[in-house]
Amino acid sequence: MKLLKSVFVSSVMLAASAFALANNDTINGAGSTFAHPLYSKWAEEFRKESGIRVNYQAIGSGGGIRQITAKTVDFGASDAPLTDDKLNREGLIQFPTAMGAIVPVVNIPGVAPGAMKLTGKVLADIYLGNIKKWNDERITALNPGLNIPGQPIYVVHRSDGSGTTFTFTDYLSRVNEQWKNEIGVNTDITWPRKATTIGGNGNAGVASFVRRTRGAIGYVEYAYAKQNSLTHTQLASAEGTFLQPSMETFQAAAANADWANTSNFYLLLNNQPGANSWPITAATFILLHKDQADAAKTKSMLDFFEWSYAQGDQHAIALDYIPMPENVSVMVADSLRQLTVNGQPVSQ
């Protein structure tokens, strides 16, 4: 995300002299809970430097898409990228801001963080309800020597429309044929009835239910797992190596991202090749209307995104997100040239 400020400014920023914004004005955004820790930190630091408030509500990617479509927020945020057809139909553009990882988290008496090993197929079988107890032989075979109780499994999932669910179900579809054929991929799905399920609102809701439910398993963005001291599992890479979630394994997965050959940045990063590539990795995206109604708000938003690309890396890394590479910054600047204010080009 190390963006040359002069490139970004010359490409997409409004002239400050023409469009001044009072410091007490507010930019409103909503959507992804996956990105909430990062956007909250960026908003805090940006306000210190600019005086501009960014109010971000973590309501889930589905809610973010609905609100930006309805024009009730200045920007939406989604972890599920929109297709070209959807973007064109709603008059939107999208661009990625950071990449992060989703981790399975459990609450099993006597099992320490990072001690349990799971494969993608076994993880899907748990969510399908094919595996109902933690001492099932398909789990114990992966974990010789680990004392696993015969605790019933409670499957915790998102109850709201969620980009995290989209990424998670895309991963399960890639590694388990039954999941692919019977359940599929979406931001909001009908969860298998064979499993004992609990629905939580947002990453925070899933984290909360896992923390207080013995025998629970859930999926959350890694920052939520760390912040809530949840017990993460190991997960097998596409090449079968059991990995711990870490910046090193996240970066290994992100290194395969081919942003240059995408259309409107539509890219899924699950199950990337490489022995050390964490298998559930995703980008998070900003959604904007191509034609903006308020010139001052538009300048303020672009100031915020420019600041995030130019100065947000350290905060992203501290929260275990992966900054976007510099070449993507240039592509984002090109994409934002599409913006207009009441039909007039934004760039000067």
Give residue-wise pLDDT tens across range 198-225. Answer: 999 999 999 999 999 999 999 999 988 9
> Span 110-138, mean pLDDT?
98
User: What was the pLDDT predicted at 23?
Assistant: 41
**Whether 95 and 142 share a structural domain:** no
Q: How many domains does the chain have?
A: 2
In whole angstroms, give the CA distance from residue 299 to residue 114: 45
**Cut 0.75: pTM above it:** yes
**Whether 106 and 200 share a structural domain:** yes
Model confidence over 40-96: pLDDT tens digits? 999 999 999 999 999 999 999 999 999 999 999 999 999 999 999 999 999 999 999
CATH number reported for the structural domain that contains residue 96 in this entry: 3.40.190.10
E-strand ranges in the chain read 26-31, 53-58, 75-78, 92-106, 117-118, 154-158, 197-200, 216-221, 231-232, 234-236, 242-243, 281-289, 291-292, 322-323, 340-341, 344-345
**Whether 148 and 83 share a structural domain:** no
User: What was the pLDDT predicted at 345?
Assistant: 86
Please say if the pLDDT value at position 274 is more than 70.
yes
**Whether 192 and 207 share a structural domain:** yes
**Whether 107 and 95 share a structural domain:** no
> Span 232-260, mean pLDDT?
95
Q: How confident is the model at residue 227 (pLDDT cuts 50, 70, 90)?
A: confident
**Whether 124 and 240 share a structural domain:** yes
**Whether 307 and 329 share a structural domain:** yes
Q: Which residue range(s) make up the domain with 187?
A: 102-253
**Whether 67 and 122 share a structural domain:** no
> Span 117-144, mean pLDDT?
98
Please say if the pLDDT value at position 281 is more than 60.
yes
**Whether 235 and 214 share a structural domain:** yes
Please say if the pLDDT value at position 21 is more than 70.
no
In whole angstroms, give the CA distance from residue 335 to residue 328: 10
**Whether 95 and 106 share a structural domain:** no
Residue given tokens 């010359």 in the structure block? 10
Q: How confident is the model at residue 229 (pLDDT cuts 50, 70, 90)?
A: very high
Contact 75, 298 (CB under 8 A): no
From 187, 219, 253, the end of a domain falls on 253
**Whether 125 and 241 share a structural domain:** yes
**Whether 326 and 224 share a structural domain:** no
DSSP, residue by residue, 60-100: -HHHHHHHHHTT-SSEEEESSPPPHHHHHHHTEEEEEEEEE
